[in-house]
Structure 1
Amino acid sequence: MNRSRREFLQKLTMSSMVLPIVSTYTPQWYGPLHTDVQGPVLRVALMGLGGYAQRVADAMKDCKRAKVTGLVSGTPAKLKEWGSKYNVPERNRYSYETFDDIKNNPDIDAVYVITPNALHHDNVIRAARAGKHVICEKPMAVSVQEGQEMVDACAAAGVQLLIGYRMRFEPNTLEIVNRRNAGEFGKINFFQGQCGFKIGDPNQWRLNKELAGGGALFDIGIYAINGTRYMVGEEPVWVTAQETKTDPTKFKEGVDETIQFQLGFASGAVASCLSTYNMNYLDRFYLNGDKGFAELWPSTGYGPIKGRTHQQPLNHPHIAHQTIQMDEMAAIILDGKKPVLPVDGTTGLQDLKIIEAIYRACATGARQELKLV
Structure 2
Amino acid sequence: MKRDDARGWTRRGLLSTAGGMVGAGLWLPEALAAAGGKSEVKLPPMKSPTEVESPLPEPMAPDKRVGFAIVGLGRLSLEELLPAFGQCEKSRVVALVSGDKDKARTVARQYGVSEKNLYDYKNYDTLADNPEVQAVYIVLPNHMHAEYTVRAAKAGKHVLCEKPMANSVAECQQMIDACRVAKKQLMVAYRLQYEPHHRAAIQLARSKKLAALKLFSADNGQNQAPEPQWRHKKAMAGGGALPDVGIYCLSAARYLSGEEPVEVWGSLYSTPGDARFKEVEEDFLFTLRFPSGLIAQCTTGYGHHESRRMRLMGSEAWVDLDPAFSYSGLRMRISRKSPEDPRASDTLERSLPRKSQFAREMDHFAECVQNNRTPHTPGEEGMQDQRIIEALYRAAREGKPQKLEAPGKLDAFRGPPPSEG
- For normalisation by structure 1, the TM-score amounts to 0.88
2:366 is the counterpart of 1:330: yes
Following superposition, the deviation at residue 253 of structure 1 comes to: 4.5
Report how far residue 53 of structure 1 moved: 0.8
Verify: 1:265 aligned to 2:265, yes or no: no
* Alignment partner of 1:165 is 2:190: yes
> Which whole-Å deviations, capped at 9, do the CAs of 1:25-54 have from their partners, x for residues lacking one?
xxxxxxxx9997448311000000111011
Aligned-pair identity (%): 34
**For residue 404 of structure 2, what is the aligned residue in structure 1?**
370
User: Per the alignment, do residues 354 and 11 of structure 1 end up closer, same or farther by CA in structure 2, a change over 3 Å counting?
Assistant: farther
Matched residue type, 1:335: N
Superposition CA RMSD, Å: 2.4
1:221 — aligned with what?
246
Alignment-mate amino acid for residue 312 of structure 2? L
Range with bigger deviation, 268-277 or 38-47 = 38-47
Contact 1:35–1:328 (CA under 8 A) maintained in structure 2: no
Deviation, 1:317, is 3.0
Contact 1:245 1:251 in 2 (8 A): no
Q: Residue 208 of structure 1 aligns with which residue?
A: 233
Check if 1:137 corresponds to 2:162: yes
- Count how many residue pairs are aligned between Structure 1 and Structure 2: 351
Within 5 A, what are the aligned runs for 1:1-373?
Answer: 37-38=59-60, 40-54=64-78, 55-310=80-335, 312-336=348-372, 342-371=376-405, 373=407
Give the stretch that moved more between structures: 239-248 or 292-301: 239-248
Task: Tell me which residue corresponds to 1:26.
Answer: none
SS in 2 for 1:279: strand
How far is 1:338 from its partner?
6.5
Q: Which residue of 2 aligns with 1:20?
A: none
Given the superposition, is the C-alpha separation of residues 363 and 316 from structure 1 closer, same or farther in structure 2, using an over 3 Å criterion?
same
Contact 1:35 1:331 in 2 (8 A): no
Contact 2:223 2:306 in 1 (8 A): no
Cα distance in 2, alignment partners of residues 214 and 120 from structure 1 = 15
Identify unmatched segments of 5+ residues in structure 1: 17-32
CA distance in 2 between counterparts of 1:141 and 1:325 reads: 19
Counterpart-to-counterpart distance in 2, 1:317 and 1:332: 22
SS at match of 1:127: helix
Aligned-partner residue type, residue 391 of structure 2: A
- The CA deviation at 1:11 is 10
Please report how far the alpha carbon of residue 336 of structure 1 lies from its aligned counterpart in structure 2 after TM superposition.
4.4
**Structure 2: distance between partners of 1:285 and 1:35:** 30
**Structure 1 residues 284, 199: CA separation in 2 closer, same or farther (over 3 Å shift)?**
same
Q: Which amino acid aligns with 2:255?
A: Y
Deviates more, 1:316-325 or 1:68-77: 316-325
Distance 2:235 2:397 in 1: 19
Instruction: Point out which structure has higher relative CO (alpha carbons under 8 A, 6+ apart).
Output: 1
**Shift in Å at residue 250 of structure 1?**
2.1
Q: CA deviation digits over 1:111-141, x for unaligned, max 9?
A: 0000111111101110011010000000010
Q: CA deviation at 1:155?
A: 0.6
Q: Which structure has the bigger radius of gyration?
A: 2
Amino acid at match of 1:367: P
- Please report the TM-score for the alignment, with normalisation by the length of structure 2: 0.79
Pair 372,206 (structure 1): closer, same or farther in 2 beyond 3 Å = farther
Mapped partners of 1:11, 1:252: distance in 2: 56
Give me the whole-angstrom Cα distance separating, in 2, the residues matched to 1:352 and 1:34: 38
Residue 194 of structure 1 aligns with an amino acid whose one-letter code is D
Change (3 A) 1:357 1:36: farther
In structure 1, what is the Cα distance between the partners aligned to 2:320 and 2:56? 25
CA deviations on 1:259-301 (whole Å, 9 max, x unpaired) are 1000000111100000100111320010001111100000011
* Native 8 Å contact 2:206 2:256 kept in 1: no
Shift of 1:225: 0.8
1:14 to partner: Cα distance: 5.1
How many angstroms apart in 2 are the aligned matches of 1:279 and 1:2? 48
Q: Find the residue that maps to 1:197 and give its secondary structure.
A: strand
| Worse-matched range after superposition: 84-93 or 263-272 | 84-93
Q: Which runs of 5+ in 2 are unaligned?
A: 1-39, 337-347, 408-421
Would the alpha carbon gap of residues 337 and 171 (structure 1) be closer, same or farther in structure 2, given more than 3 Å must change? farther
Does the 8 Å CA contact 2:264/2:288 hold for their aligned counterparts?
A: yes
Q: Take 2:158 and 2:358, find their aligned partners in 1: how far apart are those partners?
A: 18
TM superposition shift of 1:328:
1.8
